Amino acid sequence: EESLQMWDLNKRLEAYLARVKFLEEENEVLRAEIQSAKSSPTGDSWRAKYEEELRALRDALDHAFREKCTAELARDNLYEEVQQVKSRCQKEQAAREEAKKQLSLSRKELEEERRAQIWLKERAVQLEKEVEALLEVHEEEKAGLDQEIASFSQSLESFRCAPVAFQPVEVEDYSKRLSEIWKGAVETYKTEVSQLEGSLCQAKENLWKAVEDNQQSQLQLQHLEKDLAGLKARKEMLEESLARQWQEQRGEAEKFQLAMEALEQEKQTLRVQIAQVLEDRQQLMHLKMSLSLEVATYRTLLEAESTRLQMPAG
């Protein structure tokens, strides 16, 4: 039984020794690979390349951040310009509304002046008709007076041979009174006609002034419309440039975000690989320690067994 146990122990010891030898050889190979990787220039070049790429990406990120700041400043400036253009457009709109109000007022004044002119023309025609009617009445009255004077002169001729001395005082007074009435009526008509002519001239002047004001208002409105069209075109151009810059900045930000995500993924992959290598190395160390303990245990057992077998012989 002891020989069988010893033979079993020897077999197990042989298997453990072979396994230990294999693990030691593998450990030596791994150590040599680690040392070669540490000392070889390819590893340094790979690490330097990785660090150089990381540095380049950091520089690109800093450059992108600076460009982003510059774009934000340009955006703020464009926003201020747009606000100024908006305020100017509002002012131009207010001026345009004011010009429209003035134009409407001038049109109303022009219509009133036209109506006043039409009324004055009608009044002048009416007064001319009245003057013509008065002239006709005056001519009729004058003809009647002439007939009366003629009949009166005939009656005077018929009474010339009479012994009574007749003085035509009443006829002279009547003729003087008629001439004075005629002069007063003529002066009144002349005064009314001169007043109507003055009012007509004043109406014409007001009409010309209203037409000139209307033309000036139209010219000012045309200038304001031109300025408004120019401001609208500039506003559209600024909005297009701002949208284009926003799109470019968004595209660059997306590119940098993708690059950062790729770098982060590569970093996580490297961390996982390093952790796996460390875990494998730790497992190998634990296995080596356990095998060393088993070898030491079997060595002590063999030494004890050998000493026990040698003691009777001695």
List the end-to-end C-alpha distance of the chain, in Å, as a whole number: 23
The HSE-up count of residue 140 (CA atoms within 13 Å, CB side) is 5
> Would you say residue 312 has pLDDT above 70?
no
> Would you say residue 298 has pLDDT above 50?
yes
Higher confidence at residue 169 or residue 61?
Answer: 61
All structural domains of the chain with their residue ranges = 1-37+47-156+176-309
pLDDT at res. 164? 43
> In this predicted structure, which of 69-83, 93-107, 140-154, 234-248 has the lowest mean pLDDT?
140-154
Give the pLDDT band (50/70/90) at residue 39: confident
Q: What is the mean pLDDT of residues 125-133?
A: 79
pLDDT at res. 165? 44
Q: What is the mean pLDDT of residues 195-224?
A: 80
> Would you say residue 262 has pLDDT above 80?
yes
> Would you say residue 108 has pLDDT above 80?
yes
The mean predicted confidence, pLDDT, of the chain is 79
Q: What is the mean pLDDT of residues 207-230?
A: 82
Name the nearest CA neighbour of 31 among 313, 281, 288, 294. 281
Q: Tokens at residue 54, please?
A: 């990381």
pLDDT tens, residue by residue, 165-204: 444 555 667 667 777 777 777 787 778 778 877 877 887 7
Give the pLDDT band (50/70/90) at residue 159: very low
> Would you say residue 115 has pLDDT above 70?
yes
- CA dist 138 and 179 (Å) reads 11
